[in-house]
Structure 1
């Protein structure tokens, strides 16, 4: 290699030459040429220099100045309630970080919007408390993302807040919506932060006066909007079904419906005291001779059907689903197998106290009997997952014992919101309005403040009333006459005593006119609702200060257009808006007139919901199920007739009724009974018969109790086979009556009107608004929300 001359300037090798680009703009070193580094490397990403932080002049922002903007953002837009302490915290934060430009530049509105969204993503409840650690964490995260009073990375911030406790694809916080204990809160903070000591409703200004109306806390929950929860046997908790629901799902979803029903009842049964073996007492024999299926002196044990193999002649108690086998005989299934059921000598418990039909989950106490040939199982299934050989001879049949609501949610004492250390499902948000543990105690105190009792303890009046109107057939003129009489009674009351809600149940037509039933079609169907709108317009005070809820029946559109009035799949959607537009217009007109005449804005509304649906008042404090279904006749048609039960009118065997016994043998007294006399039917009908009111009331009460016990023991609103009452498989969770609601409206026109309380749940049946068999009598139910007691009322029209 030749050396350069002394006059020449030394030059470095090209490898060691500095790049033309200045070093600060090329911080990434080049790799070896052996790895294919290009001669001119790609210019690396140049991070922009952070902007100079704008100077903010902090101010002291009074909470009263911020209150209108906060009320509009939290309450009007996001349905949240700000306490005075939370308003003080927000005013201090905005005054410090937004400064003098909080109003002109709209900085405060953006901060409040982000705080409200983050609070809802955390599912921290409907009341924003200033002492809650959730609010402190939100403001702490927000402070680090603000520059010059503006939120620099609001998108990343929202994503961060939504993932604090785990979120789903829809942005909903799955863990907190399921009621799990938030990891951010400590045990002590989780109890005090949801308290209501700092909520002062009386100190709020005029802009918050609307929150003093109990109707503001009323929410109608459509069955298709209700959270879809599935009981997880392994975790012993509820999981949210995140799959997309469909009206045409795969066949496996049908199996999941019955599996989830069985798991719910099974876990409920195992938590019953009668199925928990005592440590200090000897085990009692497995026999039931009392009127109740479970007693405190006995403890029972459930046997899976698959475990019956090889145990011929032994007594067991099994829990399973009553079904009709392909051969036409009665069978019982559980998650392990199926076996033929012989109820020839069975006795229902309590006797004539409930119906038992295929599709229900029941408890059967009896003996297993193998086949005479000694075969273990049919079809070589080995008894696992198939039909077990032999038969199960049942001696006693009963429904699974019902569980009170406060026991399911873990409430202690009189249900004031305390939760036992053992738990329960108090953290589960079943309706999407907040869990019992999160907001229950606070909502109860708010209810006591807003729903004050009357002058006398026995008074039923004021805002805390719900008027339930049964079947409203608009194609019959007498129906509108009865409705006018009913509405006139409540319109004559003072405006401050107007009932909170009017619930109107279908069917709204006598025949399925959408399927050309009776006379008319879709045009006539709309005209019927137009006539209802004219009737409601005569009582503007009720339209201005009450919420009207409409629940459809099987004859209403659109479902009746293909079912022709037969049993439609549950749940079914509400009546389309194209038929009800005139009624909504009547409410808008009434509210506009009130604002024009009195200068006061009213917000009466009409809500068209599904069947079934739920009413939530004060969060989880009041849960009321709305169901329109003629269930009594269906139970009479499909229920099993026991030979031990006396033949009564409601147990008459009809076509298609599964018979559990051969022909009944005549009683000994019947051999010596006098022969029956021939009676002329025409002469008997012409004679005047004086009814016995006491006997009629006793019979009606018996039917009511029998119906209520059947439904609530099953914990399901459609305890029938899929062929008898279809169910949309992916929405079957909305039919669960678990935990037990505080009240239930079961509109059954084929059952007598009643108000019955069973295990703390008040069940009401208004019947039809036009009392059948009585001319000029209107009948409905008035429910006092404060006392949780309903009353059947009548009026002449």
Structure 2
């Protein structure tokens, strides 16, 4: 061998990134083996001998990990799937080395971050099979080789889970640790407009006491059976919410409910309220009962009350409203009625007693003494969380914190993380003493573009906001229809369409004069009854909701105005995205920071419809004081805030104006009913059978307003 010839190949002397020696002398096999750097070492995968692990054997570990640590409930089918997975990938060391507990802990974390429900099974917001399939490719020696997951539940390679016990791991903030430095901390980037047609369709399962996703495709022309199930689902929602109210929970050990108010002589004998099914009224004539049911019109045209067991004729001629003139009561609403039942044989010659057997109606009638709406509950009670101080702890009352109502993540899965992001987005400079920034929304309704005065008024409004600093401008402008005073497109043909487009072109000219607003704000357009395409067949009358957004045919000029403003944007703030125009449905929801804030935007004349269909009752001045009256009146006062936006606890406050009283009345009605459209569809509805009769009632229905 030539002494000048190097003993090792050139690429090995230069420290090539892949120094794998050859096994042939002709290729310069080194005299001694190279020391391979750990960074370039091929991954070693320890072989595991699979075992057959019974689900009953894994149950204690699963209960300790899922239930006690992560507040999850695992179904039997999911436990069977996990037992097969642990036996295959952890082998005989699943118990002695604690491999199973670490794997189950990682599965629980990914399940929660993926928006899964509180019950771990397929179809509860996440796919357990997909999680295990991804996790299996990242395991080595019974341990997970990747320990950092993204918010969508996938895995990011390059990190390794430590071998410490799961109890010594960091808290929930460390579990959700991710590279938040790459996220945008501008508030407008965390705004999401949820279209009504994109809203997750959920139904309440009475047996499982939980919400489930509806697999069928939504349609404005569903099967006739949906007409009955619609009101049955609404009744179940109100009923399960009412049972969480402390006034309807039975006391334990003889102690009463703290919120109930009795006479001083009866303080020692406090008790909760009990609901009586309508079918149980038979044979109990002359007795007082509290009923929960749906106000409807019977086939004979009389007012009746319906629940899941039957219906009864209702007499509200002497009923008292709680609170007085504080809410609307119309057919299609679910109400609480306190009164006395009188059987049919006690009514001689009465028309009300002659409807027995029609649509499940029992004989006799129910004389109402008082009527009120089912009290609503606060958000944290519905979700079963305590988030007043930024925590997400599970309360003792359960709740629906794991349900993703808007498609943006559930409260328990994303709430804590989104609140941390909100604090970073709204925080001010450290040296300044100014309060944190606020989220601002400007809402403009009845923007009639066919009226020149409206365009002049819009110009003045935009000019006022344009003169403000960027931090003081609204992040979002909501422009709501009707955008024309008359539904010209229903009979105008091509000329009507061209004229309607010219109105939006005029609005684009006005918006182009304020490029700063177009660059730093989001504009949302919500249609009305006179806007296409609902007006094409309704002629401007109330049409079925939700209504489709305005077609892109009429909005091209406005989109070009936003594109021109974005091209001139000085990107000094790299984290901020340019402004945009969003054309959404009616109604729609605004989700800000995921499940932290959500707002319902609905353009409809609900007050007029309630005035036309509301029932009339007479107030009996000789009515004795009742604890239910006092309790529900107190609840009504606590539900509706004061006119000035806060309550200082003093009794001497400014009396609200008639407009404020009307607004309170409408808000309380919607909150109590849990829907923005508490009306029947077409005719009287029945919860116990498909019996309907045609009546002159509005044909409208909207999505749920409340959480549950």
Do they superpose with TM above 0.5? yes
Residue 712 of structure 1, aligned match among 668, 671, 688: 671
Is the 2:587–2:602 contact (alpha carbons within 8 Å) kept by the matching residues of 1? yes
User: Within the alignment, does 1:738 sit opposite 2:697 as a pair?
Assistant: no
User: Within the alignment, does 1:307 sit opposite 2:280 as a pair?
Assistant: yes
Distance 1:709-1:586 versus aligned 2 partners, 3 A rule: same
**How far is the alpha carbon of 1:326 from its aligned partner?**
2.5
Is the 1:513–1:520 contact (alpha carbons within 8 Å) kept by the matching residues of 2? no
* 2:568 counterpart SS class: helix
Bigger mean CA offset, 606-615 vs 296-305: 296-305
Distance 1:526-1:545 versus aligned 2 partners, 3 A rule: same
**Distance across 2 between alignment mates of 1:555 and 1:329:** 35
User: Within the alignment, does 1:510 sit opposite 2:485 as a pair?
Assistant: yes
Distance 1:218-1:439 versus aligned 2 partners, 3 A rule: same
> Which of structures 1 and 2 has the bigger CA Rg?
1
Distance 1:505-1:394 versus aligned 2 partners, 3 A rule: same
**How far is the alpha carbon of 1:419 from its aligned partner?**
2.1
**How far is the alpha carbon of 1:613 from its aligned partner?**
0.9
* 2:345 counterpart SS class: coil
What pairs with 1:207-246 in structure 2 (closer than 5 Å)? 208=182, 211-246=184-219
TM-score (norm 2): 0.66
Residue 569 of structure 1, aligned match among 544, 554, 561: 544
Distance 1:708-1:140 versus aligned 2 partners, 3 A rule: closer
User: Within the alignment, does 1:527 sit opposite 2:527 as a pair?
Assistant: no
**How far is the alpha carbon of 1:348 from its aligned partner?**
0.3
**Distance across 2 between alignment mates of 1:301 and 1:523:** 61
Provide the aligned length of Structure 1 versus Structure 2: 518
What pairs with 1:598-747 in structure 2 (closer than 5 Å)? 602-644=577-619, 698-723=657-682, 724-727=697-700, 735-739=703-707
Is the 1:418–1:441 contact (alpha carbons within 8 Å) kept by the matching residues of 2? no
Residue 276 of structure 1, aligned match among 232, 239, 249: 249
**How far is the alpha carbon of 1:392 from its aligned partner?**
0.4
What pairs with 1:440-459 in structure 2 (closer than 5 Å)? 440-452=415-427
Is the 2:312–2:361 contact (alpha carbons within 8 Å) kept by the matching residues of 1? yes
**How far is the alpha carbon of 1:121 from its aligned partner?**
10
Is the 2:519–2:566 contact (alpha carbons within 8 Å) kept by the matching residues of 1? yes
Residue 475 of structure 2, aligned match among 487, 500, 505: 500
User: Within the alignment, does 1:398 sit opposite 2:372 as a pair?
Assistant: yes
**Distance across 2 between alignment mates of 1:534 and 1:317:** 60
User: Within the alignment, does 1:124 sit opposite 2:113 as a pair?
Assistant: yes
Distance 1:457-1:144 versus aligned 2 partners, 3 A rule: closer
**Distance across 1 between alignment mates of 2:570 and 2:545:** 40
**Distance across 2 between alignment mates of 1:564 and 1:189:** 67
What pairs with 1:373-384 in structure 2 (closer than 5 Å)? 381=357
TM-score (norm 1): 0.59
* 2:284 counterpart SS class: coil
**How far is the alpha carbon of 1:592 from its aligned partner?**
1.5
Match of 2:6 in 1: none
**Distance across 1 between alignment mates of 2:129 and 2:434:** 42
**How far is the alpha carbon of 1:393 from its aligned partner?**
0.3
Distance 1:519-1:319 versus aligned 2 partners, 3 A rule: farther
**How far is the alpha carbon of 1:410 from its aligned partner?**
1.1
**Distance across 1 between alignment mates of 2:304 and 2:431:** 56
**How far is the alpha carbon of 1:528 from its aligned partner?**
0.8
Unaligned segments of structure 1, at least 5 residues? 1-55, 62-117, 127-132, 146-160, 163-185, 291-295, 647-693, 741-797
What pairs with 1:483-498 in structure 2 (closer than 5 Å)? 483-498=458-473
Distance 1:58-1:512 versus aligned 2 partners, 3 A rule: farther
Match of 1:74 in 2: none
Distance 1:280-1:596 versus aligned 2 partners, 3 A rule: closer
User: Within the alignment, does 1:387 sit opposite 2:387 as a pair?
Assistant: no
**Distance across 2 between alignment mates of 1:59 and 1:507:** 65
User: Within the alignment, does 1:141 sit opposite 2:116 as a pair?
Assistant: no
**Distance across 2 between alignment mates of 1:468 and 1:389:** 51
Bigger mean CA offset, 136-145 vs 334-343: 136-145
**How far is the alpha carbon of 1:232 from its aligned partner?**
0.5
User: Within the alignment, does 1:359 sit opposite 2:332 as a pair?
Assistant: yes
Q: Deviations over 1:644-671 (max 9, x none)?
A: 289xxxxxxxxxxxxxxxxxxxxxxxxx
Distance 1:638-1:593 versus aligned 2 partners, 3 A rule: same
**How far is the alpha carbon of 1:465 from its aligned partner?**
1.3
**Distance across 1 between alignment mates of 2:200 and 2:207:** 20
